[in-house]
Structure 1
Amino acid sequence: MSGRATRQDADPVLRRTRQRRRAVAGQGAEIIDSEGRRWLDASSSVFVAILGANPPGVAERIMASMRQLQFSYSGQFGSAEEDELAAALIRRAPAGFGKVWLTTSGSAANESAVKLARQYHLARGKPGKTAVICRWHSYHGSTIGAMSLSGSGPRRRPYQPYLLDMPHVPPPDCYRCPWGQDESGCDLACAEAFEAEILNRGADNVSAVLVEPVAGAPLGALVAPHGYLSRIREICDRHDVLMIVDEVVSGLGRTGSWLVIDQDGVAPDMITLAKGLGGGYTPIGALLLHDRIAGALDRAGTSFNHGDSFTGHRIMAAAGAAVVDFIEKERLVERVRENGPRLHALLAPLEQHPIVGKLRGRGYLYGVELVADKLTRQPFAREAQVSERVAAAAARNGVLFQTGNAAANGRDGDTVMIAPPYVTTDAQLSEIVSVLGRALDDVNAEIRSAA
Structure 2
Amino acid sequence: MSNGEHIFFRSAGSVNPVIDRADGIYCYDEDGKRYIDGMGGVGVVSIGHNVPEIREAALKQMEKVSFAHPFHWKNQPHMELTERIANFSPAGMSKVFMCSGGSEATETALKLARQYHVERGNISKYKVVSRWSSFHGNTLGSLSMTGMRSRRDIFAPLLQDFPKIAACNCYHCPFGREYPSCNMPCAEDLEAIILREGPENIAAFIAEPIVGAAGGGLTAPDGYFKVIREICDRYDILMIVDEVITGFGRTGRNFGIEHWGVIPDIICTGKGLSSGYSPLGAVIVAEKVFEPFRTGRGFSHGYTFGGNPLSCAVGSAVLKYIEDHKLVQRVAQMGTYFFEKAQELYELDIVGDIRGKGFFMGLEFVQDKTTRKPFAASDNIAGKVADTCFRNGLIVGAGKGGIDGVNGDHINLAPPFTCTENDLDEVIDIVKTSIRQVQAAL
Same fold (TM over 0.5): yes
Q: What's the offset of the Cα at 1:19?
A: 2.2
- Of 270, 289, 294, which residue of structure 2 is paired with 1:293? 289
Segment of structure 1 superposing worse, 126-135 or 74-83: 74-83
Secondary structure of the corresponding residue to residue 62 of structure 1: helix
Matched, 1:200 2:188: no
- Secondary structure (helix, strand or coil) at the match of 1:410 reads coil
One-letter code of the match for 2:262? V
Match of 1:429 in 2: 424
Asked if 2 retains the 8 angstrom alpha-carbon contact of 1:147 and 1:163, the reply is: yes
- Please list the CA deviations of residues 152-206 of structure 1 after superposition, one character each: whole Å capped at 9, or x if unmatched: 1111111111111111111110011111111231311111111111000110000
Matched, 1:32 2:28: yes
1:364–1:420 contact (8 Å) kept in structure 2: yes
1:16 is matched with 10
For residues 46-445 of structure 1, what are the structure 2 equivalents within 5 Å?
Answer: 46-299=42-295, 301-445=296-440
> Residue 302 of structure 1: CA displacement?
2.1
Q: Secondary structure at the match of 2:267?
A: strand
Aligned mates of 1:279, 1:419 — CA distance in 2: 12
SS at match of 2:95: strand
CA distance in 2 between counterparts of 1:296 and 1:121 reads 9
SS in structure 1 of the partner of residue 63 of structure 2: helix
Q: Distance in 1 between matches of 2:344 and 2:114?
A: 47
SS at match of 1:60: helix
Q: Contact 1:74 / 1:312 at 8 angstroms: preserved in 2? A: yes
Residue 100 of structure 1, CA deviation: 0.2
Is 1:350–1:437's contact at 8 Å kept on the other side of the alignment?
yes
2:110·2:141 contact (CA, 8 Å) conserved in 1?
no
C-alpha spacing 1:165/1:36, structure 2 compared with 1 (3 Å) = same
Q: Give the letter for the 1:292 counterpart.
A: K
CA distance, structure 2, for counterparts of residue 394 and residue 214 of structure 1: 23
Look up the match of 1:5: none
The answer as to whether partners of 2:81 and 2:312 remain within 8 angstroms in 1 is yes
3-state SS of 1:68 partner: coil
**CA contact under 8 A between 1:218 and 1:415: conserved in structure 2?**
no
Distance 1:78 1:372 in 2: 57
Instruction: State the match for 1:3 in structure 2.
Output: none
- Aligned-residue sequence identity (percent) comes to 37
Quick one: distance in 2 between partners of 1:131 and 1:184? 31
The corresponding residue for 1:4 is none
Instruction: Please say if residues 38 and 396 of structure 2, whose CA atoms lie closer than 8 Å, have aligned partners that are also in contact.
Output: yes
TM superposition score normalised by structure 1: 0.95
- 1:151 counterpart letter in structure 2: G
In structure 1, distance between residues paired with 2:194 and 2:3: 56
Matched AA of 1:365: F
Q: TM-score, normalised by structure 2?
A: 0.97
The alpha carbon displacement at 1:351 in A equals 2.3
Give the letter aligned to residue 428 of structure 2. Answer: V
CA shift at 1:37, angstroms? Answer: 1.1
User: 2-side partners of 1:127 and 1:9: how far apart?
Assistant: 53
Contact residue 148 and residue 166 of structure 1 kept, 8 A = yes
State how many pairs are aligned: 439
After superposition, the C-alpha distances for 1:49-100 in whole angstroms (9 at most, x for unaligned) are 1111112311111211111011111121111111111000111211111210
SS in 1 for 2:52: coil
- Which amino acid in 2 is paired with 1:372? Q
Question: 1:279–1:319: 8 Å Cα contact kept in structure 2?
Answer: no
- Distance between the aligned counterparts of 1:125 and 1:263, measured in 2? 34
Deviation at 1:35, TM superposition (A): 1.1
Say if 1:255 and 1:365, in contact at 8 Å, map to a contact too. Answer: yes
CA distance in 2, matches of 1:283, 1:10: 22
Q: Structure 1's 293 and 19: CA in aligned 2 closer, same or farther, altered over 3 A?
A: same
d(CA) in 1 for partners of 2:180, 2:266: 31
**What secondary structure does 1:109 align onto?**
helix
Give structure 2 stretches of 5+ with no counterpart.
Answer: none
**TM-fit CA distance, 1:11:** 1.2
Cα distance in 1 between the residues matched to 2:105 and 2:303: 12
Cα drift, residue 10 of structure 1: 7.3
Shift of 1:9: 6.2
Q: Structure 1 residues 10 and 326, CA, compared in 2 at 3 Å: closer, same or farther?
A: closer
* Distance in 2 of aligned mates of 1:84 and 1:402: 33
Instruction: Determine if contact 1:138/1:152 at 8 Å carries over to the other structure.
Output: yes
Q: Report if aligned partners of 1:81, 1:314 keep a CA contact under 8 Å in 2.
A: yes
Encode CA deviations 1:199-234: one digit per residue, 9 max, x unaligned: 001100000000111111221111101011111110
* Superposed displacement of residue 20, structure 1: 3.2
CA contact (8 A) 1:221 1:417 kept: yes
Task: Return the alpha-carbon distance in structure 2 between the equivalents of residues 63 and 160 of structure 1.
Answer: 43
For residues 258 and 246 of structure 1, the distance between their equivalents in structure 2, rounded to whole angstroms, comes to: 14
> d(CA) in 1 for partners of 2:195 and 2:275?
41
Q: Residue by residue, what CA displacement relative to the aligned partner does 1:380-413 show, whole Å, maximum 9, x if unpaired?
A: 1221111010011111211111111101110111
Deviations 1:5-24 (A, max 9, x none): xxx96711122242231112
Confirm or deny: 8 A CA contact 1:220 1:415 kept in the other structure.
yes
